[in-house]
Chains A and B, each alone.
Chain A
Amino acid sequence: NAGVTQTPKFQVLKTGQSMTLQCAQDMNHEYMSWYRQDPGMGLRLIHYSVGAGITDQGEVPNGYNVSRSTTEDFPLRLLSAAPSQTSVYFCASSRTQGTGNTIYFGEGSWLTVV
């Protein structure tokens, strides 16, 4: 059981480049989310999904796109990277019912935009 897997672990982009952060979970969780964490800050919700084919915006969605074609995968796309998107990105998943101990986080993806 791998849990929540994020790739890549580290990435450097030039301003204007595009890329996709991958997130996969093998726990058959309905809910998946993407958060970003800036230095000295807590995580902020970018986008989330309550099931395959359903996505919605979180607190800081601008500059990011998501899709949920399968239950397992929830990729985060940066269409035109900006220095303000330099951050650590965390993917999370959880089942439909439950509280905090049912939320699983990936190990993070460190993104630098120069």
Chain B
Amino acid sequence: GESVGLHLPTLSVQEGDNSIINCAYSNSASDYFIWYKQESGKGPQFIIDIRSNMDKRQGQRVTVLLNKTVKHLSLQIAATQPGDSAVYFCAENIFQGAQKLVFGQGTRLTINP
């Protein structure tokens, strides 16, 4: 079956640097993509999403880029802070008009002081 995957399982960056987390997806019919942050012992926390008809969307300190040609999604976090340390998941909604998410494996982001 089709699935969403991540290129790197772990990422360490210096506090204040920018972070880029990548994700590959395979379902060309997905209508939107989501980035979640998950801290230990908690549920997924919505960060930002992007519809399939867009290629870039910006939020507060975060930017999501979507490249449909190569089926690639990335999350850029600017000026990382200690509170950004968490596991980040990308997810795609494979059922248009409803919520049916396929999650990637996750990337653990560690912020070094």
Contact = CB atoms under 8 A, between A and B. Distances in A.
User: Does chain A bind chain B?
Assistant: yes
Contact of A33 (B1, B32, B41, B99): B99
B46 A101 contact: yes
Given A41-B105, A42-B89, A99 B97 contact: no
A114 interface: no
A100 B32 CA distance: 7
B104 A42 contact: yes
B100 A33 contact: yes
Q: How large is the interface on A (under 10, 10 to 19, 20 to 34, 35 or more residues)?
A: 20 to 34
B51 A99 contact: yes
A43 B44 contact: yes
Given A42-B89, A96-B97, A103 B46 contact: yes
Contacts of B46: 100-101, 103
B99 A42 contact: no
Interface string B25-61: 0000000111000000111101011010000000000
A31 interface: yes
A78 interface: no
Instruction: Give the interface centre of B1, B34, B93, B99 by most chain A CB atoms within 10 Å.
Output: B99
A100 B34 CA distance: 6
Contacts of A108: 41-43
B70 interface: no
Interface in B47-104: 48-49, 51, 89, 91, 93, 97-104
Chain A to chain B: the 10 pairs with minimum beta-carbon distance, closest first: A42-B103, A100-B49, A100-B34, A105-B43, A94-B99, A99-B32, A43-B103, A31-B99, A99-B49, A42-B89
